[in-house]
């Protein structure tokens, strides 16, 4: 940061003499966001939506300045001194907690993965509406905060409680069909059983630092095992309901079709599907023939564990097991590698496939009932062997 020179201070002197209100108006707006890695892929300028370039992955943890950003509405300005989290609705003991009070509660630090339900949308054929995410709307970070379950315990959830709605401070209106009913907050619910689980925390720190504005400062939910839309940022209200919530972001949006007795029904998107992504080589990278190349990637799944990752160097005819590396941390991705010695020269389709310990694996073909979400069908990385 540059310090003001004496000249700057002298020039500013007349301003300092102005009444406080006028002075505030003349000052530049405070920085609204943290600096990000220059290699971030900008998927939208306003609101800012940034993709992590997965090829730069070197460790299991993604540094905060490279962690993807997904925001539906303009970033809200949350006044930190007046900030309060309220816990209301179907509870015996409604709460209103300041940030200091929240930080004094017993906290946990744990790594958790976030994946946007639209990650990989750029690979859909035909092209789908929405942000055209490639491989990098996903990341694992270390989060510090209070388990949501502990807060619900303090609020004494009444019997008959069914769901917990998490409400963000951000607001906006979506005009595209289906439109929102005017201006709404971003909100999302969790069934009470999920809300009470250890992997659901209200985080005030990310990778050992206070949350940055774009990642939801001062407080956000992190819902391990579920797609990112459940991890509500800029959290201000927790509303306990005695019935299921049917908010915009779990009906009109972030939903899919499930066929029951041949009848399609709307379901809210919840658990992450298994997926393996190849970080290196990247698309159209030149790979030498006849020499081992270390293919490197990550694999993850939602409410299960990664059991195996397989790699195919011939477009999916033959598969070989990759080596899972690093620690097996719950609700995180697993790094993997594979020594690949390509023989045939020319364009080759390299594929990776994850299977979890519940037997779920990646489909070969895209299921259109998933609309433009939960994208985990096999997508090759085309490389040039020469």
Ligand X SMILES: Nc1nc2c(c(=O)[nH]1)N[C@H]1C(S)=C(S)[C@@H](COP(=O)(O)O)O[C@H]1N2
List residues binding ligand X (CB under 6 A): 67-72, 114, 116, 168, 170, 186, 215, 228-229, 231-234
User: What is the full DSSP assignment across 114-162?
Assistant: EE-TTTTGGG-SS--SS----S-SEEEEEEEEEEHHHHHHHHTBPTT--
> Is 129 in contact with 121 (CB distance < 8 Å)?
no
User: Based on CB atoms, which residue is closest to ligand X, 218 or 281?
Assistant: 218
Here's the x/- map for Mo ion, 199-238, by CB under 5 A: it reads as -----------------------------xx---------
- Positive or negative, the CA dihedral 141, 80, 189, 46 is negative
Beta strands 381-385 and 286-287: pairing type? Answer: parallel
The residue among 225 and 228 lying less far from Mo ion, judged by its C-beta, is 228
- What is residue 171's three-state secondary structure? strand
Nearer to ligand X, 142 or 285 (CB): 142
Give Cβ neighbours of residue 15 (< 8 Å, ≥ 6 apart). Answer: 23, 26
The neighbour count for residue 256, using CB atoms within 10 Å, is 20
Which one of the spans 54-62, 64-72, 94-102, 142-150 is the region binding Mo ion (CB under 5 A)?
A: 64-72
The one of Mo ion, ligand X, none whose footprint includes residue 190, by CB under 5 to 8 A per kind, is: none
Contact status: 371 vs Mo ion (CB under 5 A): no
Contact residue for Mo ion among 112, 116, 161, 235 (CB under 5 A): 116
Q: Is 70 in the site for Mo ion (CB under 5 A)?
A: yes
Distance CA 351, CA 383 (A): 11
As measured in angstroms, the least distance from the Cβ of 119 to Mo ion is 8
Query: In the bound complex, what is the minimum distance in angstroms from residue 70's beta carbon to Mo ion?
Result: 5
Tokens of residue 278, six digits: 């190849």
Cβ 225 to ligand X shortest distance, Å: 14
- The residue (of 41 and 289) whose beta carbon lies closer to ligand X is 41
- The binding site for Mo ion (CB under 5 A) comprises 70, 116, 228-229
């Amino acid at each position: 940061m540059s310090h003001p020179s004496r000249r700057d201070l002298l020039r500013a002197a007349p301003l300092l003499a102005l009444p406080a209100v006028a002075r505030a108006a003349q000052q530049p707006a405070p920085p609204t966001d943290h600096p990000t890695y220059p290699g971030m892929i900008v998927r939208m300028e306003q609101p800012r939506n940034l993709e992590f370039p997965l090829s730069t992955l070197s460790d299991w943890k993604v540094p905060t300045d490279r962690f993807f950003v997904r925001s539906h509405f303009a970033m809200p300005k949350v006044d930190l001194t007046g900030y309060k989290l309220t816990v209301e609705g179907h509870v015996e003991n409604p709460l209103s907690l300041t940030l200091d009070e929240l930080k004094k509660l017993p906290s946990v630090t744990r790594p958790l993965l976030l994946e946007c339900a639209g990650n990989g949308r750029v690979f859909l054929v035909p092209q789908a509406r929405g942000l055209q995410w490639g491989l990098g709307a996903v990341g694992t970070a270390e989060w510090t905060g209070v388990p949501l379950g502990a807060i619900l315990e303090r609020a004494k959830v009444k019997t008959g409680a069914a769901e917990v709605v998490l409400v963000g401070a951000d607001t906006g209106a979506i005009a595209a069909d289906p439109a929102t009913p005017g201006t709404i907050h971003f909100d999302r619910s969790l069934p009470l059983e999920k809300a009470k689980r250890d992997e659901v925390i209200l985080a005030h720190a990310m990778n050992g630092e206070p949350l940055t504005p774009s990642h939801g400062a001062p407080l956000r939910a992190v819902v391990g095992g579920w797609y990112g839309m459940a991890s509500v940022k800029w959290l201000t209200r927790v509303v306990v309901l005695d019935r299921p919530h049917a908010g915009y972001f779990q009906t009109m949006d972030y939903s899919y079709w499930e066929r029951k007795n041949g009848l399609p029904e709307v379901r809210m998107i919840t658990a992450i599907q298994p997926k393996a992504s190849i970080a290196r080589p990247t698309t159209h990278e030149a790979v030498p023939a006849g020499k081992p190349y270390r293919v490197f990637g990550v694999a993850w799944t939602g409410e299960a564990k990664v059991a195996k990752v397989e790699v195919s160097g011939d477009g999916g005819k033959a598969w070989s097991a990759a080596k899972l590396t690093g620690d097996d941390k719950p609700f995180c991705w697993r790094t993997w590698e594979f020594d690949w010695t390509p023989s045939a020269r020319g364009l080759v389709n390299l594929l990776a496939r994850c299977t979890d310990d519940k037997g779920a694996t990646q489909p070969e073909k895209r299921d259109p009932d998933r609309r433009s979400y939960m994208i985990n069908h096999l997508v090759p990385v085309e490389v040039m062997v020469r």
